[in-house]
Amino acid sequence: MTRFLMGGLTTLVIGVVLGAMAVYSGMLDVAADVPHSRLVYQIIETAREQSIGRHARDLTVPGNLADTERIRRGAGNYAAMCAECHLAPGKPDSEIRMGLYPQPPDLTRPEEEVAADMPARHFWIIKHGIKASGMPAWSKGGIEDEAIWDLVAFIQKMPMLTATQYVALVESSEGHTHGGLPGSEAMHPDDDHTPSPGNTDSHEHSHSDGHQH
């Protein structure tokens, strides 16, 4: 028994030492264009999903997420805050989304299987963000819970929208509202340089080789 414990302890110590060597040697590639191994990705994904589910389970979801006013209000904030990473109807992809790892989910696509707690999960993610993923905690910018629920309502509706319907909803909204940030004003989508769906020429710039896009 003692020999078994000593063997286990020795293995653990060796593992810790090798792990420390890998960290401090710079061998671990943190580049966003080099994916994790399948095992590492699965570990991170499982930890993330379990954590979100645990923190979201005690949230009380409003019963009026299908309300047209909620959806309309959420459209403006989605266009300003979310569309570049999570896309919009008629917007096939974006430059920033292609460069992010892990790549943000395309929220225009309907879920194959919608979990009962999905609205609560969406709320928690928007409010608190996800570490080391590019997903910010929007509550840190002053957006209030009601405005976040409006976003959740819109996200649920968006997969059913055409590009024309999406643009109409955004234009009918109050635009990007910070939901309580002192001194902030509502900003209409026309004024915040948010590209319209399908517009890939909204931020043309030059690269060192002279190529523009």
Single out the residue of 152, 149, 148, 154 nearest to residue 170, CA to CA: 154
Quick: pLDDT tens for 154-176: 999 999 999 999 999 999 999 88
What's the pLDDT at 192? 45
Average pLDDT of the chain?
A: 85
Structure tokens at 22: 């890998």
What's the pLDDT at 209? 46
Structure tokens at 81: 């805050």
Q: Is the pLDDT of residue 69 over 90?
A: yes
Region 94-113: what's the mean pLDDT? 93
What's the pLDDT at 178? 65
Q: What angle do CA 206, 209, 212 make, to 5 degrees?
A: 30
What's the pLDDT at 34? 95
Q: For the chain, what are the domain ranges?
A: 38-191
Q: Is the pLDDT of residue 201 over 60?
A: no
C-alpha to C-alpha distance for 160 and 80, rounded to whole angstroms: 20
C-alpha to C-alpha distance for 88 and 102, rounded to whole angstroms: 19
What's the pLDDT at 179? 59
77 within 8 A of 177, measured Cβ to Cβ: yes
Which is higher by pLDDT, 137 or 178? 137
Q: Give the side-chain half-sphere CA count within 13 A for 65.
A: 19
91 within 8 A of 203, measured Cβ to Cβ: no
C-alpha to C-alpha distance for 82 and 152, rounded to whole angstroms: 12
